[in-house]
Amino acid sequence: MPTRYVTLAVAFVLLSAPPVWAQRGEAKQQVEFGVQVAQRGLWREAIYRWERATQIDPTYAAAFNNLAVAYEQEGELDKARAAYERAVALEPNNPLIKQNFDLFKEINDRAAQKDGRQL
């Protein structure tokens, strides 16, 4: 393939991808809608919105944190742990995320030990 076609193909891909700031804006809209429905107790819809936000912007730690809380609420503890771990990996110095994850681990790890389950 001639070089100019490769250059044009790469340019087209770069131009067709939304800019990072647009991705965060769209993901933020999903997160905000998720908060609204979670406040009404619609956790499955909140999970859908927050999963969508993490797909749109895989670097959005707040979306992973909210998703973890929702998974925890729905009893999906393995998914909650994975989402918390991702949120902490993205923003290791975020005190809210760390606090949520630490509380999750304290409660769930203690319950697992009491039940004789492996962590």
pTM over 0.75: yes
Q: Is residue 85 in some structural domain?
A: yes
With bands split at pLDDT 50, 70 and 90, how would you rate the model's confidence at 23? confident
With bands split at pLDDT 50, 70 and 90, how would you rate the model's confidence at 119? low
Residue 69 burial by Cβ neighbours in a 10 Å radius (0-12, 13-18, 19+):
buried
Specify the pLDDT at position 3. Answer: 44
Q: Is residue 10 in some structural domain?
A: no
CA 85 distance to own-chain centroid:
10
Q: Is residue 12 in some structural domain?
A: no
Domain hosting residue 89, numbered range: 20-115
Q: Is residue 6 in some structural domain?
A: no
Task: Concatenate the DSSP letters of all residues of 58-100 into one string.
Answer: TT-HHHHHHHHHHHHHTT-HHHHHHHHHHHHHH-TT-HHHHHH
**41: CATH:** 1.25.40.10
Q: Is residue 111 in some structural domain?
A: yes
What is the C-alpha to C-alpha distance for residues 57 and 15, in angstroms, rounded to an integer? 18
Q: Is residue 1 in some structural domain?
A: no
Q: Is residue 81 in some structural domain?
A: yes
CB 68 within 8 Å of CB 91: no
With bands split at pLDDT 50, 70 and 90, how would you rate the model's confidence at 1? very low
For the segment 53-77, what is each residue's pLDDT rounded down to a tens digit? 999 999 999 999 999 999 999 999 9
In the chain, how many domains are there?
A: 1
